[in-house]
Chains A and B, each alone.
Chain A
Amino acid sequence: AQKITQTQPGMFVQEKEAVTLDCTYDTSDPSYGLFWYKQPSSGEMIFLIYQGSYDQQNATEGRYSLNFQKARKSANLVISASQLGDSAMYFCAMSLTDSWGKLQFGAGTQVVVTP
């Protein structure tokens, strides 16, 4: 069974600085997708970025980029130029291609952006 590990329970980052959130995964299946979601205190789960296991380039979406290191089985999220509105819980998740949508989530990282 696949497993997602987020080792940082919480972190503080200063406004306008970049922050890297760690995510490692474990699966023997060669075909999978990796997701990052943001969950503010209101509860909704907001999709941020996606990386497929066969994608050659690292995914980017605005201020978000995913540092995908397949051999190390890591998929770290980088948020550039942090804003106060980035304060939230961030979850890394994975879905195998042959069971798409059955997401396995990490425990999350709480990010607090300070002025």
Chain B
Amino acid sequence: DGGITQSPKYLFRKEGQNVTLSCEQNLNHDAMYWYRQDPGQGLRLIYYSQIVNDFQKGDIAEGYSVSREKKESFPLTVTSAQKNPTAFYLCASSTGDTVSGNTIYFGEGSWLTVV
């Protein structure tokens, strides 16, 4: 079954701790993205990567870090520098081919709560 897998689904973090959210895709997509969603709002882009070993900041990158060592994996670390990390985090991927307007697919998301 092809798709995007995010883990864990629910995560609790103590203040001051770093936490890493996993995102794995077996769609052979070049591009991967991380979005954050706050209650009652749309999504905002945190980081994106269009190719292995390369990534760029999105609109709200402060307090987050990513790596892209493998095509299928794009983990997101929420650092202690992120002031308000409690949110729903969604990972997405696409082929990255802009000519054909390929669909952007999402994983099932991870709920992060700071306690």
* Of the residues B48, B97, B107, contact of A44 by C-beta under 8 Å: B107
* Of the residues B40, B58, B108, B109, contact of A102 by C-beta under 8 Å: B58
Chain B residue nearest to A55 in the complex (CB): B101
Q: Are A101 and B101 in contact (CB under 8 A)?
A: no
Q: Does A97 contact B (CB under 8 A)?
A: yes
Q: Are A91 and B92 in contact (CB under 8 A)?
A: no
Give min CB distance, A1 to chain B, whole Å: 9
* Of the residues B31, B42, B58, B111, contact of A43 by C-beta under 8 Å: B111
Chain A residues, CB < 8 A from B98 = 97-98, 100
Chain A residue nearest to B58 in the complex (CB): A102
Q: Are B96 and A44 in contact (CB under 8 A)?
A: no
Give min CB distance, B24 to chain A, whole Å: 15
Name the 7 nearest CB pairs between A and B, nearest first: A105-B42, A45-B106, A100-B98, A44-B108, A43-B109, A52-B101, A33-B101
Type the 1/0 row for A88-115, where 1 means its CB is closer than 8 Å to any CB of B: 0001010101101111011110000000
Q: Does A37 contact B (CB under 8 A)?
A: yes
Q: Does B12 contact A (CB under 8 A)?
A: no
Interchain CA distance A4-B105 in the complex, whole Å: 19
